[in-house]
Structure formats: structure tokens, C-alpha cells
Amino acid sequence: MYRFFKTLCQNRLALSAFLLVLLFTFFALLSFIDMFFFNEKIISSLLYSPSRMSVLEKLQPPSWKHILGTDQLGRDLLARIIYGSMVSLVVCILAVGLSGITGTVIGLIAGYSGGLIDDIVMRIVDIMLAFPGIILAIAVAGFLGPGFFSIVLALAVKSWVIYARLIRSRVLEIKNQEYVRAAYAMGAGNARIIFRHILPNCISTLIVQAAMDMGTIMIAEAGLSFIGLGPQPSLPSWGNMLSTGRNYITNGWWLSVFPGLAIFLTVLCFNLIGDILQEVFDPKLKNKKGE
């Protein structure tokens, strides 16, 4: 952790990205607490309620009263983008967590067991990787129907194979190390070897991949929401705000530009943080960049 923050402070762009991610995370937590415990009173006291409609104020351009303007129903766009950060980030965190856990378990089993089990798992992984991930996500989301948890499951189905393949290759590398062989020779059981010697050495790979995957998942979530397979429109997300804004692109450009900018900045920030994590956990990569 110390090395991460030291490397982060040496890179101003990555530090700015980290602070921006913290800001979006703060907005997401604030929106979650406000929605479920205070009935939108916190955001309403600071700005406007994200669900407050006013026909007289519909499609208002950015101004001092409404900093990012209003949508077609007169709702404040800044308040809805803040609430949308909660939906988008929670979907990403749940999808990355579910795919990471599933892929790690399957990768550990395949890499450690070897033989027929490894062959079967890897053939399944190869088949799934043969299809574009977004197509798999659309198929699963279309089968389950629009909704919050269906999009999480769809995005997890799209991503778990990456983790399975990464962890399997890492397990194959680690289990042939001398200290693992020594543990075998001393009579250590399979569970002890996996959880004491192999899994801890896979954590760095998982962290880097999860950070890089957050951006990919966020783009996929926005894409599914854009075509109507994401959360219901009553629950604001950056993707369905983009979808709504395309109908007003000529007389309400801000409806598309600001949610799109939020997605762009968040994805860029997660990718920059992923690069820093990769440098921290893989010194060889840092040396190559310095050459």
C-alpha cells in the first residue's frame, strides 16, 4: 500500500485520477445513504431532488440555477448525474466482484487439479472467449429482462473467463515453485497449500485486473443501459441518461454531453489507476518503461 501511494504521488495525472475516483465514490455513497435512509432530503437540500419534475423548467440549458441544465421533465441534471454515479459504480463493483470471485475459484480448481478438469474448464473458457463479451452480456440481459440485478449477472457472465484464465496461469506458475514443493514434502494438505501459498500470491494479479476491468464494465453497463437492457429509467444511471439524451441532441445537447463526460472521466481514471497498480505489483514493467 505504501508503494502504491508513493508511486501515485510521483505521477500527477494518476493522482488526479485517484482523487476523481474518490470524489465519484463519495457521491455514490452519499446518494445511496440519501436514497435509502433520508428519502432524497440530503441532495435536495444541497441542489434539487433528482426525481423532482417541473414542466416550466424542462430542457433548461446550464445556468447558475441549474449548473448542468435540466432534462425533458424539468429534473436537475447535476442531481441525477450524482445519483447516477451510485447506480453505475454499484453495478460495476458487484459485477467485478462476482466475476472475480467466480473466475478465481474456477481458475484455482483448474490450475491446481490439472488433467481432465483443467482441459474441460479451459475448453469452456476458450468457447466463451470466442464470442465478443458484449454479445454475451446482451444475450444474458435480454434473456433475464431489464433490471438492476440482471445487468450485474450479465456483466459477470461476460467477464469471469478473464479472471479464470489469469488465475489458472498464475497457479500453474506458483505450484511449481520450490516453497510449494517443500510444503508438499512436509505433508501440507491441498487446502493449506491453496489458501496459504497459492491464493495470496494471486491477489496482486486480481487487484490489477479488477481495477482495469472497472472501466470496461462501466462502458458495457452504459451500452446495455443505452439499448434499454439496464436498470429501469426511474433509477438514473449514466447509460440510460445517455439513451434519453440522444432524442434531444439538437435542442438539449447537455443531456448527452455531461453523462458521457462522466463515463469518459471515470473509465479513464480507473485505467490510469490500473496502470499504477501494475507498476507497483510488477517492477519488471516499471523497469521496461524506464528504459
Question: What is the model's pLDDT at position 289?
Answer: 43
DSSP state of 194: I
Cell 485517484 belongs to 18
Q: Render the chain in DSSP notation, one character per residue.
A: -HHHHHHHHT-HHHHHHHHHHHHHHHHHHHHHHHHHHSTTHHHHHHS--TT---GGGTTPPS-SSSTT-B-TTS-BHHHHHHHHHHHHHHHHHHHHHHHHHHHHHHHHHHHHH-HHHHHHHHHHHHHHHTS-HHHHHHHHHHHH-SSHHHHHHHHHHHHHHHHHHHHHHHHHHHTTSHHHHHHHHTT--HHHIIIIIIGGGGHHHHHHHHHHHHHHHHHHHHHHHHTT-SS-TTS--HHHHHHHHGGGTTT-THHHHHHHHHHHHHHHHHHHHHHHHHHHH-HHHHHHHH-
Summarised one tens digit per residue, pLDDT across range 20-45 is 888 888 888 888 887 777 776 776 66
Cell reading at 18: 485517484
Summarised one tens digit per residue, pLDDT across range 194-235 is 888 888 888 888 888 888 888 889 888 888 888 888 777 677
Question: What is the model's pLDDT at position 99?
Answer: 92
Rounded Cα–Cα distance for residues 217 and 237 (Å): 14
| Domains of the chain, start order | 2-50+66-290 (1.10.3720.10)
Summarised one tens digit per residue, pLDDT across range 250-291 is 888 889 899 999 999 999 988 888 888 877 776 554 444 444
pTM, entire model: 0.84
Q: What are phi and psi of 76, to 5 degrees?
A: -70, 125
Residue type for 213, please? D
Summarised one tens digit per residue, pLDDT across range 60-77 is 888 888 888 888 888 888
- The CA-CA-CA angle for residues 77, 79, 83, to 5°, reads 110
Question: What is the model's pLDDT at position 67?
Answer: 87
- Where is mean pLDDT largest: 46-50, 91-95, 146-150? 91-95
Question: What is the model's pLDDT at position 44?
Answer: 67
